[in-house]
């Protein structure tokens, strides 16, 4: 699919940047409202936007007319509270609520599955809609898994599902990632789940649990579309690569200026090419030396090049969140949005960047369409 | 029975005119309102029926006590319920 533009979910509205107009920004939708996730559904062409109204809760809206107007749909809901059930208390001793706090990511199902949508939420819910958002089902097999109770919040107070990967050839094959709760895989359309991901290490936890796959703080998980077993992830403690669909991971060492970050993108046809946005870990979370750079490897992580042409610094403190770094379907265009409202596009593999705006609200999520 | 009013800020998002509704508790009164405006419910209570953290309800000027189940009684036939934002969060 040829890219026509970029949908931009921000703290204060949903924006669109048009490629044919040199990425010029159009009038926003939901101006003033907190947009946490956005999806252009490839089957129906509908646009979905998740809102976090704060006082008024989390909502989901849908447009079937190219963003001209939106209407509210159903919202994922957690099962009725059971006073007799043991409360979910995380390893920090915090009680996790059984009510929707945030829709953190939205993904379409396989092209053969109509208008199926997956939603990853905080706290720790995976939901599926088979009717374009008119109704939602909690994936109870995952929610009821006792291992799920090990999950805990990372940057957010409560654990959340931020990455959902549907296998491009096998619709029933789904892999998700949790912060903090590692990687989970289902090969039967979500009826059963396995916690996978040997090889990751969480050095910020006690040594006896540091290698437990079920507590890893994966920041973002992605896979190469043409070679789906080839995956990359940005972890709280570094960069990892898997060549067996996430079962085993090898850490990529010696990445300059840093291997910390939130975002990762992989080329859709070339699994050896991946991009990262390095930040200083971990309490700082700012670019090294105040310079925004994008790192790219073309050899599977053996070496990296840092690109800064068109990006700000020194004295630049843009942070790029996990859903605000995207590559288009052809692997030709990259887009990056920051917490300080900067938006950049690169049309040459990340080597040169064009500024679209330095004055948007904090950017949470980008989607090419 | 009670007269129910909603904060102006809510009207930007969802239809919620002043309305008269029946019931002996706040939950019952609002439940009748939500039957007419199904999307309104999720703006005021969460999926467990609890009042949202940064919302507040006054019944004849007295703040709602039971934020979990909204079981506070409606004192009079002409009681007034105000559904408002708390001055917190955002």
pLDDT at A332: 94
pLDDT at A142 > cutoff 50: yes
Residues A67/A13, Cβ–Cβ less than 8 Å: no
Q: How far apart are the two ends of chain B, measured CA to CA in Å?
A: 32
Q: What is the 3-state secondary structure (H, E, C) of A349-361?
A: CCCECEEEECCCC
B48, A57: Cβ pair inside 8 Å? Answer: no
* Pick from B48, B50, B90: CB nearest A55: B90
State mean pLDDT over A51-67. Answer: 96
Please compute the mean of the pLDDT values over residues A167-194 and round it to a whole number.
97
- Note the pLDDT tens digit of each residue in A310-338: 999 999 999 999 999 999 999 999 999 99
- Least Cα separation, residue B10 to chain A (angstroms): 8
Average pLDDT over residues A227-234: 98
Partners of A80 on chain B (C-beta within 8 Å) are: 47-48
So what's the pLDDT on residue A267? Answer: 98
For tokens 């039967």, name the residue: A188
Picking from A54, A72, A99, the nearest residue to B47 by CB comes out as A99
Closest alpha carbon within chain A to B10: A56
Banded model confidence at residue B88, pLDDT cuts 50, 70, 90 = low
Which chain B residues have a beta carbon less than 8 Å from that of A56? 10, 13, 43-44, 52, 55
pLDDT tens for each residue of A117-140? 999 999 999 999 999 999 999 999
d(CA A124, CA A24): 36
Sequence-distant (6+) residues with CB within 8 A of A35 are A9, A10, A11, A13, A14, A49, A50, A51, A52, A364, A365
Cα separation, A108 vs A128, in Å, equals 10
Domain B2-85 top-level CATH class: alpha beta
- The minimum CA-CA distance between A23 and chain B, rounded to whole Å, is 30
ipTM, interface predicted TM-score of the complex: 0.91
Give me the residue spans of the domains in chain B: 2-85
Q: What percent of chain A has pLDDT over 70?
A: 100
A2 touches chain B (CB under 8 A): no
Kind of pairing between the strands at B2-6 and B79-85: parallel
**Record: contact B46-A81, CB cut-off 8 A:** no
Q: Which residue of A has its CA nearest to B43?
A: A56
Give the residue carrying structure tokens 């030709």.
A332
């Amino acid at each position: 699919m040829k890219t026509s533009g970029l949908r931009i979910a921000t703290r204060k509205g949903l924006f669109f940047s048009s490629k044919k107009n040199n990425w010029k920004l159009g009038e926003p939708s939901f101006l003033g409202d907190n947009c946490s996730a956005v999806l252009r559904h490839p089957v129906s062409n509908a646009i979905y936007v998740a809102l976090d109204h704060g006082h008024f809760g989390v909502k989901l809206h849908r447009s079937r007319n190219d963003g001209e107007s939106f209407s509210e749909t159903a919202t994922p809901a957690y099962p009725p509270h059971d006073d007799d059930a043991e409360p979910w208390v995380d390893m920090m001793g915090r009680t996790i609520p059984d009510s929707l706090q945030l829709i953190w990511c939205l993904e379409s199902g396989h092209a053969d599955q109509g208008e199926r949508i997956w939603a990853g939420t905080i706290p720790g819910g995976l939901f599926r809609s088979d009717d374009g958002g008119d109704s939602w089902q909690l994936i109870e097999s995952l929610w009821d898994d006792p291992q799920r109770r090990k999950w805990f919040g990372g940057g957010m107070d409560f654990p959340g599902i931020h990455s959902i990967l549907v296998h491009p050839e096998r619709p029933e094959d789904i892999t998700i990632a949790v912060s903090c709760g590692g990687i989970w895989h289902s090969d039967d359309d979500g009826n059963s789940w396995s916690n996978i991901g040997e090889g990751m290490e969480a050095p910020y936890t006690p040594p006896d649990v540091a290698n437990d796959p079920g507590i890893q703080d994966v920041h973002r998980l992605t896979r190469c579309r043409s070679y789906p077993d080839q995956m990359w992830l940005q972890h709280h403690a570094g960069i990892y690569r898997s060549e067996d669909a996430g079962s085993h991971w090898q850490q990529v060492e010696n990445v300059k200026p840093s291997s910390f970050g939130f975002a990762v993108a992989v080329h859709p046809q070339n699994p050896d090419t991946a991009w990262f946005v390095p930040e200083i870990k971990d309490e700082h979370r700012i670019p090294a030396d105040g310079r925004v750079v994008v790192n790219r490897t073309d050899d599977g992580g053996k070496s990296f090049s840092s690109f800064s042409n068109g990006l700000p610094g020194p004295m630049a403190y843009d942070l790029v969140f996990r859903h605000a770094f995207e590559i288009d379907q052809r692997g030709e265009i990259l887009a990056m949005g920051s917490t300080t409202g900067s938006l950049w596009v690169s049309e040459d593999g990340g080597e040169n960047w064009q500024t679209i705006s330095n004055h948007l609200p904090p950017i949470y999520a980008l989607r090419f369409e | 029975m009670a007269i129910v009013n909603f904060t102006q800020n809510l009207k930007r998002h969802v239809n919620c005119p002043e309305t008269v509704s029946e019931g002996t508790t706040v939950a019952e009164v609002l439940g009748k309102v939500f039957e007419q405006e199904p999307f309104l419910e999720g703006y005021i209570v969460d999926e467990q029926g609890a009042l949202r953290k940064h919302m507040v309800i006054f019944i004849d000027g007295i703040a709602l006590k039971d934020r979990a189940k909204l079981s506070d009684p409606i004192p009079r036939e002409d009681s007034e319920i105000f559904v408002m934002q708390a001055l917190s969060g955002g």
